[in-house]
Structure 1
Amino acid sequence: GLTPLMMLFNEKIVQPKLGQCTEAPTEQLPDAINEKNPVIIAGFGNFGNVAGRFLRAHNIRTTILDNDSDRVALLRRMGFKVYYGDASRYDLLKAAGADTAKLIVITIEPPSKRLEMIETIKKHFPNLQMLVRAQNRFDAYDLMNAGMLHVYRETIDTSLRVGVDVMKMLGYRAYTANRAARTFLKLDEKNLKKLAAIRDENQYIIAAREKIEELEKIIQTERGDIKLQDESFHRAEATASIFGF
């Protein structure tokens, strides 16, 4: 089931937005799939599209599934081979080659559909490795509790890139900013796994505050270490310039 905070988030934010989405016509039949590739991408919206284009640029063959008929039509006009259908269904996964594929990237909407798809794959295609998109931290909790090892929060990398650019624009060295982002991500992912197991809302809030404070203390300590390294680096540069190296 959903965590308490995820239930609140789902009620206040996710469901209203879902009501605005245009559903694909229910009477449309899924496409016949005539290829089997090592990678399946389920959902080719903004998230899946970037991953898919990246793989295509490297000549990695993918089978693309999407249940939005308008998007499928548009993508085909843009030169993508996309199959229409509900990727959470066993028969469509079977037709897409889920029994022989190595990996599947799951980005379909809504989050409940992703969880449904995960259970179908675990039951019928146990050898298929799953890489799953999470819309946010709370979605990630549910995916991790469903046993997912490869969960990708869709905003975390971009958010950290903004933070890195802010630091660089304020005068920090690129190395310092990038290292800080890597440290933050590593610690945040570690905390994510611990917090995912907490079901009680009050306990979650207490634990989350503790983890935030703990992360900030570690970052502050590392900042001191980086500052010392930077000072040593600049002294070495100055010495080198004096001696003409």
Structure 2
Amino acid sequence: MLATPALLLTYEHVVAPRVRLGDTPDRGHDTIKEEGSVIIAGMGRFGQIVQRMLVMTGYKPVVLDSSAEHIDSLRKFGIDVYYGDAVRPDMLVAAGIANAKLFIVAIDDRERAVELVDFVHRRYPQVKILARAADRDHVYRLCAAGADTAFREMFGSSVAMAKSALVELGHSDEDAERKARAFDEHDTAGLRHLMEVWDAELDVFSNPTYIARAKSRSDEFAELMAQDEEERER
């Protein structure tokens, strides 16, 4: 509760002026008339995919987005979205954050995403938080702020492309799938391993301990893949 006034002040004086740029002048935030067990903040390309899959599985998430123009476009396709910024505590309360099971942060502003995760984690620690991350460093910052899991926005599609590249180069579908799965598992485990030496005050390129551990893990995986290739050729 103590953090709420401070967050509202930050919103009014720092966030709101940025959010309103490009939006419909003087358009007030929508009144949220429902609460959801799942709340999604951000309905860009990333959030849309998450929302569609949840809806098709039978869930009805409450979705917030701060772009009035974008929301008007989505509504033409019958997609329910509320115009409002999830950084506003009153919007979160109206959406049912106190009783929600899951909060999904899919906004594309890195710093605001971290601030939002931090606020919800501290104010509503019982709510699970899944967050969209721009890159590895963003993953670390989101997890440090309280996200239960952070998902790099391009990682899955990049691995899928690499898998297709292997098939085009003559690997079987099964072999390409096995290698992609091994890379995914190794890289995910590496995130946890590297976070142990991550320093929020240092860029990763200026952190010699981080660099050394990253190189070591890369060499380990290259050795595993070389052994796999030997077995495949035999």
Letter in 2 for 1:205: I
Match status 1:202 vs 2:201: no
Secondary structure at the aligned position of 2:184 is classed as helix
**In the alignment, what sits opposite 2:55?**
56
| TM alignment of 1:1-245, pairs within 5 A | 23-24=22-23, 27-196=26-195, 197-199=197-199, 200=202, 201-203=206-208, 204-225=210-231, 227=232
In structure 1, C-alpha distance between the alignment counterparts of 2:137 and 2:120, rounded to whole Å = 22
Letter in 2 for 1:209: K
Cα pair distance change 1:192/1:23, threshold 3 Å: farther
CA deviation digits over 1:10-48, x for unaligned, max 9? xxxxxxxxx9x9654685332110111221111000000
Secondary structure at the aligned position of 1:92 is classed as helix
Question: How big is the shift at 1:133?
Answer: 0.5
TM-score, structure 1 length as denominator?
0.78
Secondary structure at the aligned position of 1:215 is classed as helix
Cα pair distance change 1:223/1:146, threshold 3 Å: farther
TM-score, structure 2 length as denominator?
0.82
Question: How big is the shift at 1:215?
Answer: 2.0
Equivalenced residues, count: 209
CA deviation digits over 1:132-157, x for unaligned, max 9? 11012221121122232311111111
Q: Structure 1 vs Structure 2: percent identity of aligned residues? A: 30
CA deviation digits over 1:40-68, x for unaligned, max 9? 11100000011111111222111110011
Task: Select the structure with the greater relative contact order (CA < 8 A; seq sep ≥ 6).
Answer: 1
Secondary structure at the aligned position of 1:99 is classed as helix
The unaligned stretches of length 5 or more in structure 1 are: 1-18, 232-245
CA deviation digits over 1:145-178, x for unaligned, max 9? 2232311111111001111111112221111111
In structure 2, C-alpha distance between the alignment counterparts of 1:198 and 1:62, rounded to whole Å = 34
In structure 1, C-alpha distance between the alignment counterparts of 2:140 and 2:227, rounded to whole Å = 28
CA contact (8 A) 1:184 1:219 kept: no
The unaligned stretches of length 5 or more in structure 2 are: 1-17
